Homo-oligomer: A and B are copies of this chain.
Amino acid sequence: MKKTVTLKTIAEELGVSVTAVSKAMRGEGSISRELTAKIKKLAEEMNYQPNSIASSLRTRRTQTLGLVISDSTLSLFAPLIEGIEKTAAEMGYNIILCNAHSSVEKEKEAVRTLVNKRIDGLFLAASLLTSKKDKEFLDSFEIPYMFLVRRCDWDGGDFVINDNAEGTYQMIDYLVKSGSDKIFFINISNTITTYRERLRGYREALTANKIRYDEKIVSNVKPTYEEGYHAMNKILMKEGANNVRAVFCGCDMIAVGAMERILEEGLKIPGDVRLASYDDIEFAAHLRVPLTTVRQPTYKIGRLGAEKLIDKIQNQSESRINMVIKPELVLRQST
């Protein structure tokens, strides 16, 4: 085991001070061109690898951000992660990724671990720590944090989300205007705060179109294929296949399950049943029936979020970041 090369190794070799080497490597302070060149050359030759840990301890900066994904399978968030990682990398930051597997306790644990690793900032994606009592917990660490995809329930927090009520409103409005008046709604479960905004959009769109809200055709399930499938099954069993003409799902994963069940029943989409949902996951265009859906621009949310959080870290700005991105209807074959 040969000794690791540090600034000191280089300094001794050249008979200069450690500080001189440190400054030369960073191109900071006043070190002559010649000495800088000599130092860099030797560092290269010795394959010197700066120890970011030591540097971080001293500077109190790690150039690392935490990203906690809480509530869903990772694959739905791939574009979000990609957006965050890309932007962060461009700005000189790395990302530590944690998955909380839908557990509040795991999520808190992840936050603690990340804080202990002295991340410069934290992203909470689709977090479960959105209720007011979580604010104190998050604030206690005194690091900047930002919610993505799902917003916090208190004012003054930073977040980047899409306008769920608006997106749902537009979709329902479109469905009604194009001929559907009874729209079954398989919403995401009410443990996910977003469910409320989507429900609101649904109700407002109905009201605007003078259709009475009927809670008997609204259900709530977890955002998975299986639950979508079963929810759809329940609807078909209860209502009879002929009486289901339009279904709106709270997210694409649910819609994929519902779609499977509808096709299994021998029904045509959109001929017999019109099906729409929310998110626009990557494969929405290539599903059994290409899916009409509301696009939630997760990649963009990631990029914007990262940009803003890093800006905040670097400029210690106190300004609130409350971005609500307009969603976009994507009409495909399923309606």
Residues of chain A at the chain B interface (Cβ within 8 Å): 47, 49-54, 56-57, 62, 64, 73-75, 78-79, 81-82, 85-86, 89, 94-99, 101, 112-118, 140-141, 225, 256, 259-260, 282-283, 286-288, 290
Max chain B C-beta neighbours (<10 A), residue from A51, A95, A101, A286:
A286
Q: A49-B116, A94-B117, A98-B85 are in contact. Are A75 and B282 (CB under 8 A)?
A: yes
A57's partner among B57, B101, B256 (CB-CB below 8 A) is B57
Minimum CB distance partner of A115 in chain B: B49
Mind listing 9 A-B residue pairs with CB under 8 Å?
A47-B140, A49-B116, A53-B117, A73-B78, A75-B75, A283-B283, A283-B286, A283-B287, A288-B290
Determine if A118 and B52 form an interchain contact, defined as CB atoms under 8 angstroms apart. yes
Give every chain B residue within 8 A of A113 (Cβ-Cβ): 94
Can you add 5 more A-B contacts, CB < 8 Å, to A49-B141, A74-B82?
A: A64-B96, A64-B117, A95-B98, A225-B286, A287-B288
Q: List 3 tightest A-B contacts by C-beta distance, closest first.
A: A75-B78, A283-B283, A52-B116
Determine if B51 and A116 form an interchain contact, defined as CB atoms under 8 angstroms apart. yes
A75's partner among B53, B79, B99, B116 (CB-CB below 8 A) is B79
